[in-house]
Amino acid sequence: MLIALALPVLRAARTGPFLLACAAGWVLLAIPAALSTVIDPDSLTVQLRLAAVCAAVGAVFLLDDPAKPTTLVVPGRAWVTTALRVGMAFGAVALWWAAAVGITLAGAGEGIGEQLRLAGTTLEAATILVVALALAVLGCRRAERGVASAVTAPATLVVVGAAALLPRETALFVGLTDPRWAAAHDRWSVLLLVAGGTLLIGAGARR
């Protein structure tokens, strides 16, 4: 069933907004290299975070399911197509992120790339993506026509904005040399587990 549905799901996916969002993220990261500007590691990390948000918002559109009204009575269709869409989003963003990191390192000044904490930044990007997909799955399930990106894309931005405004004691976005880095990424790990559980429950539940 998965193999039979994979190609139709891919063809029906709203890839246009996703590709535009990913391109915007790459452009943001390529600016230092294009301008031959040396940027400090903290600023590069902020750029990576912003680019990750771009990709996550774009991935929300891949979860839209305009065919929902015509597939409500097809056994197994709901969770299978949702799983395919989620898997497609994860795979596409993973490839995009690898290229994004490469662009960042290529544009970084000598010795600056080595100062980046890419493991922690990748954890942040993965969590933002999972939160976005969880919102998209829940939103599409509640939408009668299966299209909820108009709501879930802004909702993703609101969630990230709220995370950026957390007080110092519970901050998620911290600088590379900030002593709170380890504690902040412990919180990122917990958030990833919660968002991942929500995504699994939302994707597996019946419509």
What's the sign of the alpha-carbon dihedral 69, 73, 74, 79? positive
**How many angstroms separate the first and last alpha carbons of the chain?**
19
Torsion of CA 106, 109, 115, 116, to 10 degrees: -40
Tell me what percent of the chain is helix, strand and coil, each rounded to the nearest 5: 75, 0, 25
Whole-angstrom distance, CA of residue 12 vs CA of residue 203: 18
Question: What's the chain's length in residues?
Answer: 207
Residue entry with tokens 């390192």: 105
What letter represents residue 11's amino acid? R
pLDDT tens per residue across span 5-36: 556 566 666 788 999 999 999 999 988 767 76
Count of CA atoms in the C-beta half-sphere (13 A) of 31: 12
Residue 174 three-state SS: coil
pLDDT tens per residue across span 118-149: 999 999 999 999 999 999 988 877 765 668 88
Global confidence as pTM:
0.88
